[in-house]
Amino acid sequence: MHEMSLAEGVLQLIEEAARQQEFAKVTAVWLEIGALSGVEVEAMKFCFDAVMRDSIADGARLEIIAAPGTGWCMQCSMSVPMKEVFGECPQCGSYQMQVTGGTEMRVKELEVA
Amino acid sequence: MCTTCGCGAGEVKIDGDDAHHGHEHVHADGTRHSHGHVPGAAHEHSHAHSHDHVHGHRYAPVHSNAAPAHSHAPGLGAKRMVQIEQDILSKNNAYAAQNRQRLAARGIFALNLVSSPGSGKTTLLCKTIELLRGRQPVTVIEGDQQTSQDAERIRATGAPAIQINTGKGCHLDAHMVGHAMEKLELPADSLLMIENVGNLVCPAAFDLGEAHKVVILSVTEGEDKPIKYPDMFRAATLMLMNKCDLLPYLSFKVDAAIEFARRVNPAIEVIEVSATTGQGMDDWLAWIDRQAAVARPAA
Ligand SMILES: Nc1nc2c(ncn2[C@@H]2O[C@H](COP(=O)(O)OP(=O)(O)O)[C@@H](O)[C@H]2O)c(=O)[nH]1
Ligand SMILES: [Mg+2]
Ligand SMILES: [Zn+2]
Ligand SMILES: [Zn+2]
């Protein structure tokens, strides 16, 4: 459900770019999705196709660029990989973690015709 | 999805009217009139985003003089790459920033109330309005997929309220709230309460321009909600633990719920309340006073 409104956000950005840069058709879309962004990639693919239908990106290919989750452990004073937003430090088990990467939800680029 | 301003609000209704295809305007002399948008007509719109009623006619194919290097689609010209590098939520965030600016200019303190359906948001708002009567004007924006029952419950307390129906939409967004703010006459230095659609997932990502998100967790839900829906509890400044009057009849562990909430958000504040008995409401009102004082620049 969340992915549906995000897909609509993607279409808004595409349509805005189409007005500014004058292209008629989008054939591929690159999205950067962080592991901690809460976005389900499979759900996003499904919603993307549904939302793009009858738009200038109808039938466009969706390419996902996965960004890994990373955090700063205050106990270890070092950057560590994170699997979940509220996850523990894989080194020391502490929950005192600050997310530093992996929350991205960005439209990176488009292939247009 | 609304093709007028591309705002994804096709089914959205504000107090029963389409969010976009008819705006009511109030003139300085107090007369009101409504009208639909006329494509191409200049249109004064106090909500500062531009509605350029182009309806897609500018998407004519562009003919490039460059030799088509890899032309796969006949009639569409060469393919090229266009850099975007924009956050998916950037449009919403821009509307939210605009709402925040308009609120700040009038000294209005806004809270965004989020929770699962039935945790007691509307009941809590009614109680809050009752307790603030004569002390502080409160205005309410109600978000639900269907019906205006909650706005009617608020109006019954005497406070002005407007209902946004999101249709299939599972959360309020900053654009809808901007339009609702235009329709409401928000008194200067008042309190604006926004009751979001009952959903512990999606509203977390959508900034509406509020000062804080307040998450309501009722004790009839599980203690583990904060770790099941961490984004919402991370986004909130305050957790109101509601329906505490029912604790004697339940096995809900208050300490465990608070521990889980602090695990996902170490800074979250917690107040135990009951919207029906009024328990804890003094602490909640004091919290509002404190936060509003911080948010409003010294007069
Ligand atoms: N026992 C008890 N019931 C409550 C309390 N607050 C709300 N309720 C009940 O919970 C139900 C849902 O409340 P409502 O305000 O509509 O929830 P909303 O969906 O979050 O707006 C109603 O039947 C309320 O009477 C409370 O503090 N204690
Ligand atoms: Mg309600
Ligand atoms: Zn560690
Ligand atoms: Zn609009």
Q: In this complex, which of B62, B78, B92 lies closest to A9 when CB atoms are compared? A: B92
- Nearest ligand to the CA of A94 is 3
Report CA(B137)–ligand 1 centroid distance (Å): 23
ipTM over 0.85: yes
In a domain, B289, yes or no: yes
Q: Domain span at residue A22?
A: 3-68+101-112
Helix A2-21, helix A41-52: angle, nearest 10: 50
Q: Report whether pLDDT(B195) > 50.
A: yes
In a domain, A56, yes or no: yes
**For the purposes of burial, counting CB atoms within 10 Å of the CB of B107, is it exposed (0-12), middle (13-18) or buried (19 or more)?**
middle
Chain B hits for A25, Cβ within 8 Å = 61, 73, 76
Q: Report whether pLDDT(B160) > 60.
A: yes
Pairing of strands A26-34, A61-67: parallel
In a domain, B266, yes or no: yes
Domain count for chain B, please give it. 1
Token pair listed for B94: 């821009």
Domain count for chain A, please give it. 1
Question: Which amino acid type is present at position B203?
Answer: P
Is B209 close to ligand 1, i.e. is its CB under 6 Å away?
no
In a domain, A81, yes or no: no
Q: Report pLDDT digits (tens) over B64-108.
A: 444 444 444 445 568 899 999 999 999 899 999 999 999 999 999
CATH code where residue B275 lies: 3.40.50.300
Alpha-carbon dihedral angle through residues B97, B5, B173, A5, given to the nearest 10 degrees: -120
In a domain, B265, yes or no: yes
B126 Cβ neighbours under 8 A, 6+ residues apart: B153, B154, B156, B157, B275
Band of residue A3 on the pLDDT scale cut at 50, 70, 90? confident
In a domain, B44, yes or no: no
CA neighbor of B211 nearest in space, from B183, B238, B173: B238
Band of residue B16 on the pLDDT scale cut at 50, 70, 90? confident
Question: Most A CBs within 10 Å: which of B62, B82, B171, B260, as the mutation test of the A interface?
Answer: B82
Handedness of CA A38, A41, A43, A45 (dihedral sign): positive
CA neighbor of B217 nearest in space, from B265, B181, B174, B178: B265
Q: Report pLDDT digits (tens) over B111-132.
A: 999 999 999 999 999 999 999 9
CATH code where residue A45 lies: 3.30.2320.50
In a domain, A94, yes or no: no
In a domain, B252, yes or no: yes
Report CA(B46)–ligand 4 centroid distance (Å): 11
Ligand 1 atom with the smallest distance to the CA of B273 is 27
Chain A hits for B1, Cβ within 8 Å = 8, 11, 51
Cβ–Cβ contact A21 with B under 8 A: yes
Average pLDDT over residues B272-294: 97
DSSP string, B26-43: E-TTS-EEEEPPPTTS--
Greater confidence, B134 or B71? B134
Q: Domain span at residue B114?
A: 98-295
Q: Which residues pair with B239 in a beta bridge?
A: B215, B270
Is B99 close to ligand 1, i.e. is its CB under 6 Å away?
no
In a domain, B52, yes or no: no
Band of residue A5 on the pLDDT scale cut at 50, 70, 90? confident
Is B23 close to ligand 1, i.e. is its CB under 6 Å away?
no
In a domain, B119, yes or no: yes
Is B127 close to ligand 1, i.e. is its CB under 6 Å away?
no
DSSP SS3 for B103 = helix
